[in-house]
Amino acid sequence: MATLTYVYADQTAVLGPLATFAEPHCYDLCAEHANRLTAPRGWDVLRLAVPTSPPPPGPDDLLALADAVREAAREEPEAAGPLAQRAPRSALEPPAATSTATGRRGHLRILRD
């Protein structure tokens, strides 16, 4: 994947690594479209080195995922979406395991085998 940015004043299209934040006139492209990119007549295309594999998740990514899970667990069933409105909360919970629970933290449980 790559991000395409147009520099209208210079009549240049810049194709580079995936942007970390959104800006006007920037477009994220899949690898196939990034490889086939052409610019308008008279424009230059500047191709920056694009990594071939995505970077591994960093600590910020994992913290953001954990925060999203915690936030979803705090939501009321009515605010959780159409599925929660159709089914009672007990129907959404997994069936009880035959193992005994040894600890509980928030909505997560540790089970003994």
pLDDT of residue 63: 85
- Residue for token pair 């210079």: 10
CA atoms within 13 A on the CB side of 83: 6
pLDDT digits (tens, 9 = 90+) for 68-92: 888 888 875 555 555 555 555 555 5
Q: For residues 107 and 4, which has the higher predicted lDDT (pLDDT)?
A: 4
pLDDT digits (tens, 9 = 90+) for 41-64: 999 998 888 777 767 777 788 888
Question: Sign of torsion, CA 96 97 99 103?
Answer: negative
